[in-house]
Amino acid sequence: MDILQMIIVIGVLVLLVKPLGTYVYHVYSDEPNRTDRIFGGTERFIYRIIGLKSRDGMTWKKYALSFLLTNIALVAISYLLLRLQGALPGNPNKIGAMEETLSFNTVISFITNTNLQHYSGETGLSYFSQMAVIMMMMFTSAATGFSVAIAFIRGITSRGSTIGNFFSDFVKSHTRIFLPLALLITLVLVGLHVPQTLQPTVTATTLEGATQSIAIGPVASLESIKHLGTNGGGFFGVNSAHPFENPNPLTNVIEILSMWALPASLPYVYGRFAGNRKQGWVVFSAMMTLFLVFLATVYTAEVNGNPVLNNLGVDASQGSMEGKEVRFGMAQSALFTAVTTAATTGTVNNMHDTLTPLGGMVPLAEMMLNVVFGGKGVGLVNMLMYAILGVFIAGLMVGRTPEFLGRKIEPREMKLIAIAILVHPFIILAPTAIAFLTDLGQGAITNPGFHGISQVLYEYTSSAANNGSGFEGLADNTPFWNITTGLVMLFGRYISMIAMLAVAGSLVRKQPVPETMGTFRTDNVLFAGILVGTVVIVGALTFLPAVVLGPIAEHLTIR
C-alpha cells in the first residue's frame, strides 16, 4: 500500500508536467495567446501603475540589476514592517517588534525563498506581518526565481543580446501563475478544513479544566503559496505537521503536488523554448532518477526503523514513527520529506531531526545537490549548469570543442560556472567548520556526537540551498546563527543567480553552430546518464567526507 501511494502521487505529477509546462511556456514565450484576454487587462493596469513604459528585452546586466533592485526594495520595506509590527494594525494578539538580528534573518530568509524560520509564527508575527511580509515575499521571491530561470532559458535557447524583460516576467509570474493557482489551492484547502480567519487565538477549556490557547489565523492562504512558491515557511512553528496547516492525507498530497508540480514542469518549459522537447525530458528524467534513488533510501531507512529501539524489543513493524504524524504514516511522510528538500521548499510534515540517520541524510543530500527539481527556477538553472559542465567534460570526447545547444562553451562561461560551483560547497562547509571552531556555534548543538554534525550541516545546507527546512533541535535563534545563516542564504541565492544570468547573457550572443552528425547530442538517454554522473561526481562527492562524519558515522555506530 505504501508503495502504491507513492506511485500514484508520482504518476499524477508526471501527468501534470506537460499541461502545466505548456501553460507556463505560453506565459513567458511573449507571443500573443488566448490567456492574454483574461490577464492582459490587469497586467496593462499594473504596468501603467508601476510606470513600465517599454517591455523590450533587457541585457543580462540590466535584467540582473532590475531583479536585484526590486528585491532590495522589498527587503527594506519588510524589515521596517517587522520592526514596527507592534504599532501596526492587524495585530489582535498584541505581538511586539521583532529583534534586529532575527528580523534580518527573517527578511533575508523570505526574500531568498528560503523560509528558514528562527521564530515561531504564532508568537513572533502579527497577522499583518504574516500577510504583508511573509506572504508578500512568498509571492515575490518565487516570482523572482521563476523569472530568472526563464531569462536563463531564453539566454541559452535564443539568439540576440537580450534575455527578456524582468518587470514583465515578474508581473506575469504573479498574475498568470502564482495568484490564480494560490487562489485555487486556498479554496480547496479551506474546503478541506484548513482555517482562514482574522480572529485572534481561541481560548478553550480542556476536559481537565485547564485553559488552552489554540492559535488560528489566515492559514489556508499562506499554506497555498507556501507550497506553490516552494517557500516552506509555516504559519505555525511545526509547519505542515500542524493539524491546521495539513489536516489530512488529502491535503498532504495536495501540498506535495503543489510544491512539486511547477519545478517539475520547468524542464518541459525549457524543452519548449529549446524547440526540442526531448531536451526537456532528458533533464526531467535525470532529476527523476536522482529523486527516486533518494525516495527509496529515505523510505527504506524509515521502514527499517531505529536499530537502537528495535534492539530494545520495541515493535519494529511500524518502522521509525518517532517524530512522524500518525495520520500521514510512513509513505506520506517519506514522500513529503523527499519532495520538500528536492523542490527546496522546506515545509515539513515530520521532524527531520528524528529521521533515522540514513533517512536524515536524504534531505541533506538533496539540498546539497540542489538540482533534483529544485526550488522555483533555481533547480533547473543548477541542473542546466551541470549539463553545461557535463557537456564540457564529456563533449570533448567526440573530438569537438564543447557546445551546448549549438553554443560554444568557452573560458568566459567556464569562469562564471566555476564561481557558481565553488560558492555552494564553500558557503556550506566553511560556516560549518566555523561553527565547530567556536563556542557560539557549538553551544547551540543539543545532540552532541555525529548527530550534532548533521544538525549544523543541515542548518547551513538548508540555508545555502534556500530550502529553509530545519533539522530543528538546534538552538538557532541567537545572533551568531541569525547572522551566519542570513549571510549564507544571501550568497546562496544571489551569487549563483547572477553568475548564471551572466552565462545566459554570454551564450545568447553566440552564433549557434549547426547540428551535424559530429555534434554531441544532449537529447538522448546517454546524456541523461552523463548528467546524473556529473551531478554525482562533481556535486555529491564534494560533501562525502562531511556526510561520512555526520549521518553515515551515526548510522554505522548505532547498528
Partner 1 sequence: MTTQRKSMLTSAIVNRAVKDSFLKLNPLTMMRNPVMFVVEVGTLVVLLMTIFPGYFGTEGRVGFNLTVFLILLFTVLFANFAEALAEGRGKAQADSLKKSKQDITANKVTGTAIKQVSSSELRKGDIVLVSEGEMIPGDGEIIEGLASVDESAITGESAPVIKEAGGDFSSVTGGTRVVSDQIKVRIMSDPGESFIDRMISLVEGAKRQKTPNELALNTLLTSLTLIFLIVVVTLAPIAKYVGVELDIPVLIALLVCLIPTTIGGLLSAIGIAGMDRVTQFNVLAMSGKAVEAAGDINTMILDKTGTVTYGNRMASDFLPVKGTSIEELGQWAALSSAKDETPEGRSVLELMKTRQLSFPSQLAENAAVIPFTAETRMSGLDLPDGRKVRKGAVDAVKKWVASQGGTVPSDLDSTGEGVAVLGGTPLAVAVDNRIYGIIYLKDTVKPGMQERFEQLRRMGIKTIMCTGDNPLTAATIAREAGVDDFVAESKPEDKIALIRREQAAGSLVAMTGDGTNDAPALAQADVGLAMNSGTVAAKEAANMIDLDSDPSKIIEVVAIGKQLLMTRGALTTFSIANDIAKYFAIIPAMFMLAIPQMDTLNIMKLGSPSSAILSALIFNAVIIPLLIPLAMRGVAYKPMSASKLLSKNLLIYGLGGVIAPFIGIKLIDLLVHVWI
Q: Which residues of the chain form contacts with partner 1 (CB under 8 A)?
A: 389, 392-402, 406, 409-411, 413-415, 418, 421-422, 425-426, 429-430, 432-434, 436-437, 442, 449-450, 452-453, 511-514, 516-521, 524, 526, 530, 533, 537-538, 541-546, 548-549, 552-553, 556-557, 559
CA angle 348, 482, 416 (to 5 degrees): 85
Task: Report the distance separating Cα 356 and Cα 353, nearest Å.
Answer: 8
Query: Based on CB atoms, which residue is closest to partner 1, 121 or 390?
Result: 390
HEC per residue, 411-437: HHHHHHHHHHHHHHHHHHHHHHHHHHH
Quote the crossing angle between the two packed helices 329-342 and 277-304, to the nearest 10°: 140
CB-nearer residue toward partner 1: 237 or 425: 425
Do 477 and 505 contact (CB within 8 A), yes or no? Answer: no
Q: Are 551 and 358 in contact (CB under 8 A)?
A: yes
To the nearest whole angstrom, how small is the minimum distance from the Cβ of residue 308 to partner 1?
14
CB closer to partner 1 out of 299 and 520 = 520
**Region of residue 542 (phi > 0: left; psi between -120 and 50: alpha; otherwise: beta):** alpha
Least Å distance, CB 301 to partner 1, is 15
**Cβ-contact 169, 145 below 8 angstroms:** no
Whole-angstrom Cα distance, residue 238 to residue 324? 12
CB 119 within 8 A of CB 477: yes
Residue whose CB is less far from partner 1, 183 or 526:
526
Task: Report the nearest approach of partner 1 to the CB of residue 397 (Å).
Answer: 4
**Coil, helix or strand at residue 445:** strand
Q: How far is the CB of 460 from partner 1 (least distance, A)?
A: 11
CB of 414 to partner 1, least distance (A): 4
Calculate the CA 506 to chain-centre distance.
26
Beta strands 407-408; 403-404: pairing state: antiparallel
The residue (of 302 and 403) whose beta carbon lies closer to partner 1 is 403
CB-wise, 36 or 515, nearer to partner 1?
515
Give me the least distance between CB of 488 and partner 1, in Å please. Answer: 14
Closest approach, Cβ 64 to partner 1, in A, equals 21
Residue 54 or 442 with smaller CB distance to partner 1: 442
Mapping DSSP to helix (H, G, I), strand (E, B) and coil, where does residue 330 land?
helix
